[in-house]
């Protein structure tokens, strides 16, 4: 394993948590191994590991893009990552609200439902919190 893989795996574990990464690694097959290697080195090492943005900001950008692109299967993982990176439920709500203005209400509506469900699974009492107007 190269240093970029080791560095990427460290960042991946810090952002997503050992449990998630262990499941992904355990589920790796000969067919998917090249992709797992790629995302570990490219996404987690080369991008998430950079100093240019802090992890809170990277989480905000990621949530916005996943919402805008309709990547609903990836949202729960990145809502959990955003919480690990220090975002509150209120901040996640603001990111999704902002995204809805530019990416569309249907996408933001789906993202809100997914985020609320994920935050509730994490035991966040703010998942049922009412947004101030």
> Where residue 93 sits, what CATH number does that domain have?
1.20.1290.10
CA distance 89 to 86: 10
Identify the pLDDT of residue 128: 67
Q: Please indicate, yes or no, whether residues 66 and 113 belong to a single structural domain of this protein.
A: yes
Q: Which of 52, 72, 89 is the last residue of a domain?
A: 52
Segment 117-133, tens digit of pLDDT: 999 999 988 766 555 54
Residue 84: alpha-carbon gap to chain centroid: 9
In the chain, the number of structural domains is: 2
Q: Please indicate, yes or no, whether residues 34 and 60 belong to a single structural domain of this protein.
A: no
Six-digit token pair at 100?
């809805």
Q: Please indicate, yes or no, whether residues 34 and 78 belong to a single structural domain of this protein.
A: no
Alpha helices in the chain (DSSP H): 3-16, 18-26, 33-38, 55-69, 75-84, 89-103, 105-121
Q: Please indicate, yes or no, whether residues 128 and 75 belong to a single structural domain of this protein.
A: yes
pTM: 0.89
Q: Please indicate, yes or no, whether residues 75 and 99 belong to a single structural domain of this protein.
A: yes
Q: Please indicate, yes or no, whether residues 40 and 102 belong to a single structural domain of this protein.
A: no
Q: Please indicate, yes or no, whether residues 60 and 98 belong to a single structural domain of this protein.
A: yes
Q: Please indicate, yes or no, whether residues 36 and 81 belong to a single structural domain of this protein.
A: no
Segment 12-55, tens digit of pLDDT: 999 999 999 999 999 999 999 999 999 999 999 999 999 999 99
Six-digit token pair at 18?
């050992």
Q: Please indicate, yes or no, whether residues 61 and 30 belong to a single structural domain of this protein.
A: no
The residue segments making up the domain with residue 71 are 53-133
């Amino acid at each position: 394993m190269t240093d970029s893989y080791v560095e990427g795996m460290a960042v991946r574990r810090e952002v997503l948590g050992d449990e998630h990464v262990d499941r992904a690694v355990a589920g790796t097959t000969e067919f998917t191994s090249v992709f797992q290697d790629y995302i570990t080195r490219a996404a987690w090492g080369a991008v998430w590991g950079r100093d240019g943005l802090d992890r809170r900001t990277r989480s905000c950008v990621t949530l916005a893009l996943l919402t805008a692109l309709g990547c609903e299967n990836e949202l729960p993982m990145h809502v959990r990552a955003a919480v690990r990176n220090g975002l509150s439920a209120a901040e996640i709500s603001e990111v999704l609200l902002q995204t809805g203005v530019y990416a569309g209400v249907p996408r933001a509506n789906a993202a809100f439902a997914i985020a609320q469900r994920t935050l509730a699974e994490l035991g966040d009492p703010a998942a049922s919190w009412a947004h101030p107007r």
